[in-house]
Chains A and B, each alone.
Chain A
Amino acid sequence: MVEHRPLSDFIAYAILTLGILIVAFPVYLALIASTHDAATVVGGHMPATPGSRTLENYYRAIFVGGSRTSREPVAHMLINSFVSAIGIAIGKIFISILSAYAVVYFRFPFRKTAFWIIFITLMLPVEVRIYPTYKVVADLKMLDTYAGLILPLIASATGTLLFRQFFMTVPDELLEASRIDGAGPFRFFWDTLLPLSVTTMAALFVIQFIYGWNQYLWPLLITTQDSMQTIVIGIKKMLVTTDELAEWQLAMATAVLAMLPPVAVVIFMQRLFVRGLVQTEK
């Protein structure tokens, strides 16, 4: 540091502590609400400390589902969310590592064209072309299927650009050495390039898992059966019943469950997360 000022450090601690408290407050309230009974929450006089209904609320949310709204139990929604988030992450890594390999390590007619066809997709998120995409998925009979939840969301260029960027930093000598050893494109990819790409793949996985888990508009449109709902749209549907009747304590328990997996990923895989975020600029 340039100069050491105890006061300046004190102000920094104060501002940051205040900041993280404000940031955590909405989630704290949700946690508290998920431990009380319905009457306490709706009454508007909810205490700031946990109640005694924790187990009952979470048990009902996970295995039974809200009785008044007769929705799916959350356990099922969690499975749907996991399948689609992991499907999106793996699907994107799979298609983009292959296409980046083709673009970087081969020379062929229309190479630039293929790259641009992929690159342009960066510019248009799914929200812009939502109804035509819905129609395509409906025509392909993919409504209410995992394929319908996953495939339209992996059509984007971020992964390809990321792997392309990484492959460009791999020294040419590695390829020359493999060729001298008699390795073809498959062996070079499998034995040399893939092991080197593990960190990049993991970073992309973390970002895409969070992206997939948090999807809202797309699953909302293409799932018509409750059994295909993801947890994020499940919460919203719990609250669509008129406000007085909505079971807030169950909705909040569901919200906590919906936040847990992606937040855990950010906290426990922070280095991969930051790396992925900075590299994909997502």
Chain B
Amino acid sequence: MEKATVFNNRLLPYLLLLPQLVITVVFFYWPASQAIWQSFLREDAFGLVSEFVGLENYEALFAQPEYYRSMLTTVIFSTLVAALSLSIALLFATQADKNLKAAGAYKTLMIWPYAVAPAVAGVLWFFMFQPSLGMLARPLRGMGLDWNPLLNSTHAMILVVMASVWKQISYNFLFFLAGLQSIPRSVIEAGAIDGAGPMRRFWTIIFPLLSPTTFFLLVVNVVYVFFDTFGIIDAVTGGGPAGSTTTMVYKVYADGRLGGDLGGSAAQSVVLMVIVIALTAIQFRYVERKVQY
């Protein structure tokens, strides 16, 4: 789509674009190209001399068992968070879509956690489940369960997943509710006249019509788990115990910290870039086509 009437100044449009282009080039393209370049270099311990090593950083990366482990962690983590937060949010949204009194208040009370910083959400959940003083950890230990997310990998993962789901429900709820409200009432009424009960109507009419929203949310949730959960992981577990909650993004940070393995960290950045670009491409391809029956 293009505007029919436009101005025809020669210099002005470039001046208008200048601030954004300068910031984008300096803080985006320059560092991104540095990451790619650096992934082919090896620096000495003091960062003084660097040597071109070709694909060595990548070979070293894919020879690391820890890297595959962080991939697996990322897959498990994203699957759990996306599945749980989507289904819980869909349950709440279908209930809020009924003609209830105080529907507005329920909506407000459901969406505010969006505004809580991931790192703060992590601190709140850690506080509840900290083994010695957590209000909810004590009953668990009282029941004879040796609850300790500081030492037990499974417990740590459960805690990180719960905090991430808690934070993401609000976003999914909002989009599911908007999706449900945009389904024409006449379609649902037609189903009812044909004798379909509420459950049947949900699975055969509402759920299929909601599939564009669900698919969009699925991609957004995966991107959320990749990047925005960094604060939660850092606050709750710091990637531990023994690397069991280190996702791929967390590993980029952890490996390059304090000028550690910058080449390896850069190679990981490049792998991540490829994954994110693929995800975005999938999103555009399918969202354009409107997944629907």
By a beta-carbon cutoff of 8 Å, the part of chain A in contact with chain B is: 1-3, 5, 8-9, 11-13, 15-16, 19-20, 23-24, 26-27, 29-30, 33, 41-44, 46, 94-96, 98-99, 101-108, 111, 114, 117-118, 121-125, 127-133, 135-137, 140, 151-152, 154-155, 160, 167-168, 172, 175-176, 179, 184-185, 188, 210, 213-217, 220, 232-233, 235-236, 239, 243, 248, 251-252, 255, 258-259, 262-263, 265-267, 270, 274, 277-278, 281
Contact = CB atoms under 8 A, between A and B. Distances in A.
B112 A125 contact: no
A107 B21 CA distance: 17
The secondary structure that dominates the A interface is helix
Interface in B168-202: 169-171, 174-175, 178, 188-189, 192, 198, 201
B252 A236 contact: no
B14 A13 contact: no
B32 A129 contact: yes
B92 A124 contact: no
Given A9-B98, A129-B273, A130-B256, 13 more contacts: A12-B98, A102-B17, A117-B25, A127-B253, A128-B35, A128-B252, A133-B31, A214-B119, A214-B120, A220-B234, A248-B133, A266-B112, A274-B111
B195 to A, nearest CB: 11
B198 A8 contact: yes
Given A20-B109, A266-B114, A132 B16 contact: no
Main SS of chain B's interface residues? Answer: helix
A220 to B, nearest CB: 8
A128 B273 contact: yes
Contacts of B216: 281
24 contacts: A2-B192, A9-B98, A13-B100, A16-B96, A44-B132, A44-B133, A46-B135, A102-B12, A104-B3, A107-B6, A121-B28, A123-B277, A124-B277, A128-B272, A128-B273, A131-B269, A133-B27, A155-B23, A155-B24, A172-B3, A214-B118, A232-B120, A266-B115, A274-B111
B117 A213 contact: yes
B4 interface: yes
Listed residue (A9, A106, A136, A239) with the most chain B CB atoms within 10 angstroms of its CB = A106
Interface of B: 1, 3-10, 12-14, 16-17, 19-21, 23-32, 34-35, 38, 88, 91-92, 95-96, 98-100, 106, 108-121, 123-128, 130, 132-135, 138, 166, 169-171, 174-175, 178, 188-189, 192, 198, 201, 216, 220, 227, 230-231, 234-235, 249, 252-253, 256, 262, 265-266, 269, 272-273, 276-277, 280
B230 A217 contact: yes
Contacts of A267: 108, 112
B123 A251 contact: yes
